[in-house]
Amino acid sequence: MAVPPPTRTHPARPRGRAISLSVPVVAALVLLTGSAGLTPPALALAVGAGGCGLWAGFHLVRTALSIHQADQSFVACRGAGFVGLGAFAAVVAVLLTWLSPPAVGVWVTIVFGLAAASYAIGALLLPGSGAGWVVHSRRAFDGLGLGVSLAFAGYLLTPAGVARPSALSVIAIGATGAAIVLVAILRGRLARWPAVRCGIGAILVLTGLGAVAVGTGGAALALAGLPVVLGLALTAEGGSRRDLPPAPLEPRHPDQYLASYPLLAVPAAVGVVAAVWHLVVVHTFDPTSIILGIAMVAVLAMRELLVVHDIRRYAGQLQTAEAHFRSLVAGATDLTLVLDDQLRITWQSPAASRLFGLNDDEVVGRVFAELIHPDDVEGAREVIDAVLAGEGADGPPALVTARLRDGAEMWRDTESTISDQRSVPEVAALVVHVRDIGERRHLEKTLHKLSSTDQLTGLANRRALMRELLAHRRRAGQPGTLLVIDLHGLAEINDSRGRETGDAVLIEVGRRLRGLLGPGDLPARLGGDEFAVLTADGAVLAYALASRITAAVAEPLQLPGSIVELHTSIGLAELAGGEDSDAVLRHADLARRRARQLGLDRVEWYDPDVEMQLNRRMDLEREVLGAADRGELDLVFQPVVDLRDDQPVGVEALLRWRHPQLGTILPHELLPIARAVGISAELDEWVLDAACKHLSAWTGGDNGFWLSVNVSPRELLTARFPDRVASTLQRYGVAPERLVVEVAEAWIAEDVPAVVASLAGLRKLGVRAALDDFGAGQASLSHLRRLPVDMLKLHSSLANASPESAPVSGPAVIDVVVSLGRRLGLEIVAKGLESREQCERAAKAGCLYGQGFVLGRPAPAERIEAYIESHRG
């Protein structure tokens, strides 16, 4: 019998089985006729049992051959083949009985032995009866012991009138064969019911043939054929099954529990009972019975020795496995605990003392929860309860992360896996493997700290700031402010003194920030020269903190061989003012940029207008680069009037940017943008060229009318500026004395010697120079004597102050300034005149010229030309 592929089907099998069952039925009917005397018993036995044997033999052999052809495996078909050979041997035995003169009895016994051997071998080779010659030989020896005992008992229990010596061989052969088949059935997989039916059938065949072989005669001979027919039918049905499920895996040691079977006790009990009964009845033992008894005892003794050998071998294997287990557990890096149903610790591994300093008397008998930190007990209990309830039984072991107390009464971070082994009889408990993860936690914290800390300053980095900002925003109802700090001058320090000095400056700034903050504030470095502070303070306290930071950072920093001065721009944004953390950071950064535009050491709050202004600024910075090429730049001119007769003596060229979407951009907004993007020199060149072009077209040779243009310090301090002015005047045919170059007083202090040299170069060309917005600076009078200027243009604050509002700083100051200028031989122009009263005051103070809205507003070139013509007429 074997297991073919499960896809093979036999649609005609039910019909074939019905036809095959008719053969044993007919054979049984023939045997019944013989027992009833209707036919000779020997003939009925030969026809009935012989025909059924032929049917069963051919059926089994054909099945074996088809299995061999399908599976190409001799092992798969040999069980059915040997059972078929046993059926053919049974046919020969019954035919010999039919032909049986008295001398044929020996051949019947021989053929009976062949049948017993075939059935025994076939039963051992059927699927589910084990694999390997060691297993088969051991089971055959078990059957031999049982057969010898049964033969001994049968011989002793045979009546004295029966030819006992002639029956001895038949009893021994039959008992041995049947015993081997029985052992094969008992030791095989009981789920293989076809093999069980085949084995029962073999025992029935051997029983019937044994009765025939001992010389049964008359009607009993035909009745002895009935178990043969029934047995042949069972062997044919069970031995030819091909639709069996795959055989389960064999255990590693299928005979390791030999002593648990009753096979050792059954032979001894049968032999002892038979011997006692024979001793009581007969009172003596003949030599044959003594030999059989000795053989039985020898077989049983040998069987016992084999069992002892197996037990010792398996005991040695268990000792080796236990030694391996102890060495693994003792050297493991995990602590193993065994918990009973009450979660009490019943055993701990030897590694407990080495890893955790826990002795058995300190742990065994205690509840597992007593070792866990009180804050972690609830979470651990939930996991353990889930394990006890059977949740996740098919998944990985449950994981418990908790702090456990060690032998030094310290809490350790541990990670435990809990395995439910209650279904294993040898364990019947929960097994907990505890691992110390303290070093891993320490490493995780270190890595987390490294990932959240700026390595140079030790402050929090951007990631940590954003995480804390998010956490602070989630705590609703609490105020908070974010400060973004920008350092000025760090790039110059890195370029001039090296990166090491720059890093020292950043470290010092971080130290000063930490010294100003409270325990609830978080300082951070965003990168480069940008810092940030997250504070829980409201608007007033946050602004005060920003002011203190500005003052602290502005203090001179003493470095080896140098003193460094830093300045800051700080932007503030309320945490509740943004949709998310990124929006809050963006708001604070926009306020910081606005503070930087307004000057050094400024603190600015974010509001929507700031964002609009910055967006406008970014748009203008992006589009100003091509404004001249697109023809968007324009000039307007404001007249300068002689205060004595109201006649125009000159004009000042003022730059305008005619933006197609934003309208007219005035110089106070345009010029800082030009300086930021680095095109202020190009704008000055464009203004100079366009102004001279207009001037050459207006005057018609009137050399008394002049034009003034404003020049930035960067353009003025270039070595090629005087040459450019000369080439422009020559190109448009403008006399040098008709051009006035204005320099703002606030820019003079940047580099006085260089400004003096450049103005001197212009004077050599004949170009006049004017000091613009005089009176607004802090060192105006000290520089006035050194500067080669021809004209002073007074700041509007000097001319517009009324005598009533400022009697000291009003007319008295303008009188002093005008008097000083006239003594130096300079022409004085009062700017910002907005009323006739201011014009009269300026004229009374000694100013020759005036400029302001009351005298003439800035206008395009065409209107200024008409204005000049009208006044000239």
SS (HEC) of 746-775: HHHCCCHHHHHHHHHHHHHHCCEEEEEEEC
Last residue of a domain, one of 305, 340, 374: 305
Alpha carbons within 13 A on the beta-carbon side of 385: 7
DSSP 8-state code for residue 4: -
**Do 585 and 650 belong to one domain?**
no
Mean pLDDT across 680-692? 87
The DSSP-derived string for 579-639 is SSHHHHHHHHHHHHHHHHHH-SSEEEE--HHHHHHHHHHHHHHHHGGGTTTTT-EEEEEEE
User: What is the dihedral sign for C-alpha 449, 454, 458, 464?
Assistant: negative
Burial (CB < 10 A; 0-12, 13-18, 19+), residue 441, is middle
Which pLDDT score, from 0 to 100, does residue 549 have? 92
Which pLDDT score, from 0 to 100, does residue 103 have? 45
Relative orientation angle of helices 133-157 and 105-125, to the nearest 10 degrees: 140
Contact 423, 324 (CB under 8 A): no
Cα 845 from chain centre: 82
Which pLDDT score, from 0 to 100, does residue 253 have? 46
Each residue's pLDDT tens digit, 191-248? 467 777 777 877 888 777 777 777 666 777 778 778 888 888 888 777 666 555 544 4
Mean of per-residue pLDDT scores for the chain: 78
Mean pLDDT across 560-583? 83
Distances (CA, A) of 860 to 94, 375, 637, 655, 704: 142, 82, 6, 11, 21
- What CATH number is associated with residue 336? 3.30.450.20
**Do 555 and 528 belong to one domain?**
yes
pLDDT at 257 over 80: no
Mean pLDDT across 660-672? 85
Contact 180, 147 (CB under 8 A): yes
Which pLDDT score, from 0 to 100, does residue 5 have? 42
Q: Is residue 827 a part of any domain in this protein?
A: yes
**Do 135 and 281 belong to one domain?**
yes
Q: What does the alpha-carbon distance between residue 299 and residue 145 come to, in Å, rounded to a whole number? A: 5
Burial (CB < 10 A; 0-12, 13-18, 19+), residue 755, is buried
pLDDT at 356 over 70: yes
Q: What does the alpha-carbon distance between residue 465 and residue 483 come to, in Å, rounded to a whole number? A: 11
165, two tokens: 């010596």
Which pLDDT score, from 0 to 100, does residue 534 have? 92
**Do 421 and 495 belong to one domain?**
no
pLDDT at 767 over 70: yes
How many domains, the chain? 4
Which pLDDT score, from 0 to 100, does residue 146 have? 74
Which pLDDT score, from 0 to 100, does residue 748 have? 66
pLDDT at 570 over 90: yes
**Do 535 and 636 belong to one domain?**
no
Which pLDDT score, from 0 to 100, does residue 191 have? 43
DSSP 8-state code for residue 344: B
Each residue's pLDDT tens digit, 442-484? 787 777 777 788 888 888 888 888 888 888 877 766 788 999 9
Q: Is residue 613 a part of any domain in this protein?
A: no
- What CATH number is associated with residue 853? 3.20.20.450
User: What residues contact 318, with CB distance under 8 A and at least 6 apart?
Assistant: none
Confidence of residue 809 (pLDDT cuts 50, 70, 90): very low
Last residue of a domain, one of 442, 477, 506: 442
| H helical segments located in 332-394 | 351-356, 360-363, 374-388
Confidence of residue 161 (pLDDT cuts 50, 70, 90): very low
Confidence of residue 700 (pLDDT cuts 50, 70, 90): low
Q: Is the pTM of this model over 0.85?
A: no
Each residue's pLDDT tens digit, 71-124? 544 444 567 777 778 778 777 877 777 765 544 467 777 787 787 778 777 777
Residue of 707, 710, 714, 779 whose CA lies nearest to 744: 710
**Do 296 and 382 belong to one domain?**
no
- What CATH number is associated with residue 579? 3.30.70.270
502, two tokens: 């720059």
Q: Is residue 128 a part of any domain in this protein?
A: yes
The 10 Å Cβ neighbour count of residue 816 is 13
Confidence of residue 808 (pLDDT cuts 50, 70, 90): very low
616, two tokens: 């406008």
pLDDT at 370 over 50: yes
Each residue's pLDDT tens digit, 381-437? 888 888 888 776 667 788 888 888 887 888 888 888 888 888 777 677 888 888 888
Which pLDDT score, from 0 to 100, does residue 869 have? 80
**Do 576 and 656 belong to one domain?**
no
Which pLDDT score, from 0 to 100, does residue 524 have? 92
Which pLDDT score, from 0 to 100, does residue 7 have? 41
**Do 117 and 203 belong to one domain?**
yes
**Do 714 and 831 belong to one domain?**
yes
pLDDT at 4 over 50: no
586, two tokens: 């963006």
pLDDT at 662 over 80: yes
pLDDT at 307 over 80: no
Last residue of a domain, one of 414, 442, 470: 442
**Do 551 and 673 belong to one domain?**
no
Q: Is residue 93 a part of any domain in this protein?
A: yes
3-state secondary structure of 189: coil
Q: What does the alpha-carbon distance between residue 417 and residue 254 come to, in Å, rounded to a whole number? A: 33
Q: Can you name the residues that pair with 830 across neighbouring β-strands?
A: 794, 850
Which pLDDT score, from 0 to 100, does residue 68 have? 61
Q: Is residue 315 a part of any domain in this protein?
A: no
Mean pLDDT across 779-800? 76
Q: What percent of the chain has pLDDT over 90?
A: 6
Confidence of residue 661 (pLDDT cuts 50, 70, 90): confident
Q: Is residue 578 a part of any domain in this protein?
A: yes
Query: Which of 58-67, 263-272, 362-371 is the least confident region?
Result: 263-272
pLDDT at 766 over 60: yes
pLDDT at 843 over 80: yes
- CA angle in degrees (0–180, nearest 5) for 527-529-531: 70
Contact 292, 152 (CB under 8 A): yes
Q: Is residue 319 a part of any domain in this protein?
A: no
**Do 370 and 512 belong to one domain?**
no
Range of the domain at 226: 13-245+262-305
Residue of 343, 329, 349 whose CA lies nearest to 371: 343
Q: What does the alpha-carbon distance between residue 216 and residue 711 come to, in Å, rounded to a whole number? A: 145
pLDDT at 190 over 60: no
Q: Is residue 617 a part of any domain in this protein?
A: no
C-alpha dihedral over 801, 806, 807, 810, to 10 degrees? -30
Question: Percent helix, strand and coil across the chain, each rounded to 5?
Answer: 60, 15, 25
**Do 650 and 719 belong to one domain?**
yes
DSSP 8-state code for residue 738: G
703/320: higher pLDDT: 320
